[in-house]
């Protein structure tokens, strides 16, 4: 991923990030916390945000990037308006959630971890949402869709698409 | 002082200070424990699990490189359990290692290969998913082939130790690979090109971008005249590539070998080290007298210059405007020597042999492009000699070609940390006070990371400091910035120990590096040579007399500035 196109955020977001860095920089091991806050502010961790953090903490960009890519909770790409998350936990997996994930990938035309070009959907996998009784499960934002079959995927996604029209 | 503890390793009793690791204690008992991720002074993370041993009081196998000894401990380093574990570790590493050993430049000098042979591994026991990563050859100084990387982290540690932090581990699990932030090409990162990662790499994942082919091509081109010149430290290290003991001076054989590669002149780059001193000492005196931007920093190390431009641009005015000896030599050949011999500069192919990978970048800096056509490392020269079928160790000793053969001892010691400072002091002190005869400045010698000294010359107090390794350079810079320390002249070499330990020097395996005092043993060659030289002060060199009489008139003259000085520019990077 290269520098994000155009402005990477609002002045308000930049001020918030600055405040978070100022507040935590003296705490040992603060990088994780700052990255979490930054992701909450921006929704993801683009290069300029990581550079600001590196400069603010006087550590290298490669160190920040190493941590940001190690933890799956951090995203380097903006998330979609609808965040699709397919559970690959044990119960869902044995009930064939890998097929569900494949179908969503096919339907959205993106790979797990990516976002659609129109910014509407992003796709991730997760481990257990605590709804094993409904396996296989996928979540779209806060909505839980259970007892899925691959052929149901299109209809569910179309529902969200219709919301936008 | 730490108290001593006594333990048994393979039934041999050893007494070592408390806190010593099993690995170091074993070395004392002359027992070698295999390592991959461990490298003395550089990396100690205990991640590769090659050095596992059995120790009483420990659950399971422990990593000897990080596990401290204890009183009465019994360690076994060569049990069936240890051997099987190490073999399995190797087989797992090999499951995703690009096994292109035949053409790998580390073939026969690869730690993974050596261990695999020793442990009788089956390199195809585990069939891993093929995982093809792009080769990053964006920079002339370091080429990275991550398919050969075993994620030992030695390069990352070396880079961190240099305070550059251009590279780090990216991703997680099977996808972990080493690279720059955002997987950007190395050339766009904060990398300064010192090459310490290359000499730290146990396998063939890192190398310089080779320019050997360009040199062979120039040899074969009848319209080209080829000229070689070798940096001060090459004589102290080239022998290692031919299994000669560390610390052998091979100057004569080196000259003989280059002559046998093809039709060429072989010159001594020490000459432009002298020239650097003439110019730099004059610049220093000028700065002292005018009080202009002090302290002055040496500028012969291109990785250091790049570091300043990228990370501390506020110090750019402090850098001496002198080109490095490599660039001075290129410029001298393409002007003075070409004019004298009626050769068109474009018909002259200049090849520098350098201990350094950053010099490969330096010769393509836009301000100096074309002066040096190819810069090859000690390793590349050794490879050329081997390709040419030259029996290096049996060669006679030969001498450099005139007129650039004679140089002073001051120039020779450029290759070790403190050498430039000592050479500059010899000449600068004499320029300030003609009766100043001291030639040995012992306080600036040795491989200590930071050295300081104060000299009183002709009423001027000269406060000097020397640092090698960018980690130590940063310490000095921060002290200068905060006003805590005040100096007049500061020498910095990016590589720990200076050029003798440069990123272009022969790659020695961990078993050698963990045992030898590499920096001091190599540096000694240069200081012994200095001691035997009839000329020790650059301003006494007959070649300097000739050059200033014939061409430059006097140091820092208009002509000298035109040919021998350069400029720097801010290139702030994060």
The per-residue pLDDT for range B425-446, each reduced to its tens digit, is 999 999 999 988 889 999 999 9
The CATH number covering residue A113 comes to: 3.40.30.10
Does a structural domain hold residue A100? yes
Asked, as a colleague might, if the bond just before B295 is cis with ω within 30 of 0, I would say yes
Convert the pLDDT of each residue in B221-272 to its tens digit: 999 999 999 999 999 999 999 999 999 999 999 999 999 999 999 999 999 9
Instruction: Quickly state the pLDDT bin for B339 (edges 50, 70, 90).
Output: very high
| A127 and A156 together in one domain | yes
Residue B46: which region, alpha, beta or left (left: phi > 0; alpha: psi -120 to 50)?
left
Active site residue B280: yes
Is the per-residue pLDDT at A6 higher than 50? Answer: no
Does a structural domain hold residue A99? yes
Helix (H, G, I), strand (E, B) or coil at B89: helix
Q: What part of A 29-58 touches B (C-beta under 8 Å)?
A: 47, 50-51, 54-55
| A50 and A105 together in one domain | no
| A119 and A63 together in one domain | no
Helices A11-24 + A47-57 axis angle, to 10: 30
- The rounded distance, in Å, linking the Cα atoms of B265 and B352 is 12
| A96 and A155 together in one domain | yes
Q: What is the mean pLDDT of chain A?
A: 91
| A57 and A90 together in one domain | no
Q: What is the mean pLDDT of chain B?
A: 95
Active site residue B300: yes
Question: Tell me, what's the pLDDT at A2?
Answer: 39
Does a structural domain hold residue A147? yes
Question: Tell me, what's the pLDDT at B366?
Answer: 95
Chain position carrying tokens 């097929």: A99
Domain interval for residue A48: 11-70
Is the per-residue pLDDT at B162 higher than 70? Answer: yes
ipTM > 0.90 (yes/no): no
Q: Does A61 touch chain B (CB under 8 A)?
A: yes
Percent of chain A residues topping a pLDDT of 70: 96
Q: Are the Cβ atoms of B172 and A72 closer than 8 angstroms?
A: yes
Among all residues of chain A, which has the CA nearest to that of B169? A66
Boundary residue ending a domain (A70, A100, A117): A70
Q: Does A59 touch chain B (CB under 8 A)?
A: yes
Q: Are the Cβ atoms of B190 and A61 closer than 8 angstroms?
A: yes
Does a structural domain hold residue A2? no
| A116 and A146 together in one domain | yes
Is the per-residue pLDDT at B1 higher than 70? Answer: no
* Domains: count for chain A: 2
Does a structural domain hold residue A6? no
| A41 and A111 together in one domain | no
| A93 and A130 together in one domain | yes
| A95 and A151 together in one domain | yes
| A50 and A30 together in one domain | yes
Instruction: Quickly state the pLDDT bin for B513 (edges 50, 70, 90).
Output: confident
Helices A47-57 + A31-42 axis angle, to 10: 150
Does a structural domain hold residue A4? no
Q: How many residues does chain B have?
A: 574
Tokens of B538: 């650059």
Does a structural domain hold residue A48? yes
In B, which residues are within 8 Å of A60 by CB distance?
164-166, 168, 181, 190
Q: Read off the pTM.
A: 0.91
Among all residues of chain A, which has the CA nearest to that of B166? A62
| A88 and A146 together in one domain | yes
Q: Are the Cβ atoms of A63 and B574 closer than 8 angstroms?
A: no
Helix (H, G, I), strand (E, B) or coil at A132: helix
Question: Tell me, what's the pLDDT at A73?
Answer: 83
- The rounded distance, in Å, linking the Cα atoms of B63 and B241 is 31
Does a structural domain hold residue A76? no
**Side-chain half-sphere of B344: how many Cα atoms within 13 Å?**
4
| A88 and A128 together in one domain | yes
């Amino acid at each position: 991923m290269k520098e994000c196109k155009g402005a990477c955020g609002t002045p308000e977001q930049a001020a918030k990030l600055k405040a978070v860095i100022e507040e935590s920089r003296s705490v040992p091991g603060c990088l994780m916390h700052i990255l979490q806050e930054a992701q909450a502010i921006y929704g993801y961790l683009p290069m300029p945000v990581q550079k600001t953090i590196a400069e603010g903490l006087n550590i290298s960009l490669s160190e920040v990037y190493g941590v940001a890519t190690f933890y799956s909770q951090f995203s380097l790409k903006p998330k979609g308006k609808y965040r699709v998350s397919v559970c690959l936990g044990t119960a869902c997996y044995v009930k064939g959630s890998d097929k569900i994930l494949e179908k969503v990938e096919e339907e959205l035309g993106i790979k797990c971890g990516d976002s659609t070009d129109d910014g509407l959907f992003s796709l991730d996998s997760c481990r257990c949402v605590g709804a094993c009784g409904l396996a296989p499960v996928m979540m779209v934002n806060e909505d839980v869709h259970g007892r899925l079959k691959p052929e149901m995927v299109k209809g569910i996604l179309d529902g969200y698409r219709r919301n936008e029209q | 002082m730490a108290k001593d503890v006594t333990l048994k390793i393979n039934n041999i009793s050893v007494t070592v200070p408390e806190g010593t690791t099993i690995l170091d204690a074993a070395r004392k008992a002359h027992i070698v424990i295999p390592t991959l991720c461990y490298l003395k002074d550089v990396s100690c993370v205990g991640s590769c699990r090659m050095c596992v041993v059995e120790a009483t009081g420990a659950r399971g196998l422990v990593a000897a490189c990080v596990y401290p000894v204890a009183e009465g401990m019994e360690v076994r380093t060569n049990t069936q359990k240890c051997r099987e574990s190490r073999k399995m570790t190797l087989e797992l590493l090999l499951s995703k290692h690009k096994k292109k050993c035949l053409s790998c430049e580390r073939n026969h000098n690869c730690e993974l290969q050596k261990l695999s042979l020793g442990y009788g591994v089956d390199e195809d026991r585990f069939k891993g998913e093929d995982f093809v990563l792009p080769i990053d050859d964006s920079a002339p100084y370091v080429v990275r082939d991550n398919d050969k990387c075993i994620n030992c982290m030695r390069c990352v540690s070396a880079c961190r130790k240099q305070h550059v932090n251009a590279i780090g581990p990216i991703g997680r699990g099977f996808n972990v690979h080493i690279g720059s932030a955002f997987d950007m090409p190395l050339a766009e990162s904060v990398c300064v090109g010192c090459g310490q990662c290359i000499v730290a790499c146990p396998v063939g994942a890192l190398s310089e971008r080779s320019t050997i082919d360009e040199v062979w091509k120039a040899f074969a081109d009848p319209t080209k005249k080829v000229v070689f010149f070798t940096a001060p430290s090459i004589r102290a290290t080239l022998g290692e590539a031919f299994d000669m003991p560390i610390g052998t001076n091979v100057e004569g054989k080196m000259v003989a070998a280059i002559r046998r590669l093809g039709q060429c002149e072989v010159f001594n780059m020490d000459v432009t080290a002298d020239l650097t001193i003439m110019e730099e000492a004059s610049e220093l005196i000028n700065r002292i007298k005018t009080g202009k931007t002090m302290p002055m920093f040496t500028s012969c190390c291109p990785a250091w210059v790049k570091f300043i431009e990228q990370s501390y641009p506020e110090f750019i005015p402090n850098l001496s405007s002198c080109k490095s000896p490599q660039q001075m030599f290129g410029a001298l050949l393409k002007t003075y020597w070409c004019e004298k011999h009626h050769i068109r500069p474009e018909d002259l192919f200049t090849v520098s042999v350098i201990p350094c990978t950053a010099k490969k970048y330096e010769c393509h800096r836009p301000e100096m492009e074309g002066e040096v056509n190819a810069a090859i490392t000690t390793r590349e020269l050794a490879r050329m000699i081997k390709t040419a079928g030259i029996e290096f160790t049996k060669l006679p000793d030969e001498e450099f070609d005139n007129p650039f053969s004679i140089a002073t001892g001051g120039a020779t010691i450029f290759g070790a940390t403190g050498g430039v400072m000592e050479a500059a002091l010899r000449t600068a002190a004499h320029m300030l006070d003609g009766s100043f005869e001291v030639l040995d400045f012992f306080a600036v010698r040795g491989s200590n990371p930071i050295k300081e000294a104060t000299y009183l010359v002709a009423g001027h107090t000269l406060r000097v400091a020397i640092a090698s390794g960018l980690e130590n350079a940063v310490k000095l810079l921060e002290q200068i910035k905060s006003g805590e320390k005040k100096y007049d002249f500061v020498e910095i070499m990016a590589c720990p120990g200076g050029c003798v330990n440069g990123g272009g020097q022969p790659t020695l395996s961990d078993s050698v590096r963990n045992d030898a005092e590499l920096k001091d043993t190599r540096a000694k060659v240069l200081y012994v040579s200095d001691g035997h030289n009839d000329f020790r002060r650059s301003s006494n060199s007959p070649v300097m007399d000739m050059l200033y009489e014939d061409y430059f008139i006097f140091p820092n003259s208009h002509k000298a500035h035109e040919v021998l000085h350069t400029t720097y520019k801010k290139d702030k990077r994060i």
